[in-house]
Amino acid sequence: MSVYPNNCSPVRKLFLDYWRYQLVGWYRENDNMNTAAENLNEILISKVSPKPIENVLYYSCGFGEGSTRCANLTGANVDQVYKNTWRAVRAQDINLNSKVNYFKSYLIDLPSNHYDCVIVNESISDFKDELAQIYRVLKPNGRFALSPLTVINLDKEVKWLIGEYHLSDPTFIIKETEQLFDVHEVVEFNESCFNTYNELATIFSTIDTEAGRYCYDNFIQRCELVSKGVWGKMLLTGIKK
């Protein structure tokens, strides 16, 4: 199986290669640094407070940074699910010694009523459908921390940056979540989103190659979209009804 998504352009492959190897390596070499991405993962983990005997589902992008952090901090049984099988394959290769199980499957393939906690740090494409799957896999009274990207206006620039993703506006996200869950908290996370993108742009600014420049430009544009209020991030927490 290819480690790249279908119809991946050469420059997109360069971007993904640098994300996998340069960026993941940078995080490993600087594991004592208080990074924005690390802060966000720790906030999400703290919201559901997994116990060592509990089953946790981590649904995110990246290559296992958040789920590995969760397993190490809590001692819980952590499963990782991706929306792309190619990303799951690369995460498993990168994190050979991790305690996390990297699924090569989608939410729909996971068992019902199995997880005590679900943590979502991902740009959800079909929010209503995927939220129903999150509800299905959670045990009764299971806890969740949901932090999706949000978008107000899907113009061409935004579509280019987010690729195949269709992001939902905050009002829709809150309404749909309240249909299935008791929502305890709704917080705007735009500052965290901006800080993460700005941090990534800073890292890629030091890589003087075509891929490095491409990645830098990409994350700078993401920062601009967050600053303009076009693109954002939010956090919802609660329990399954």
Q: Is residue 79 part of a domain?
A: yes
Q: Is residue 54 part of a domain?
A: yes
Helices (H), 62-169: 65-74, 85-94, 127-137, 156-162
Specify the DSSP class assigned to residue 109. G
Give the mean model confidence (pLDDT) for residues 116-136: 89
Q: Is residue 3 part of a domain?
A: no
Confidence of residue 14 (pLDDT cuts 50, 70, 90): low
Return d(Cα 126, Cα 96) in angstroms, integer: 31
Q: Is residue 206 part of a domain?
A: yes
Structural domains counted in the chain:
1
- Helix %, strand %, coil % of the chain (to 5): 50, 20, 30
Q: Is residue 221 part of a domain?
A: yes
The angle, 0 to 180 degrees and rounded to 10, between the axes of the packed helices 10-17 and 210-227 is 80
pLDDT in tens, 184-226: 999 988 888 888 888 878 877 887 877 778 778 888 988 988 8
Q: Does the predicted model carry a pTM greater than 0.85?
A: no
pLDDT of residue 158 exceeding 80: no
- Find the CATH number of the domain harbouring 229: 3.40.50.150
Range of the domain at 113: 10-240
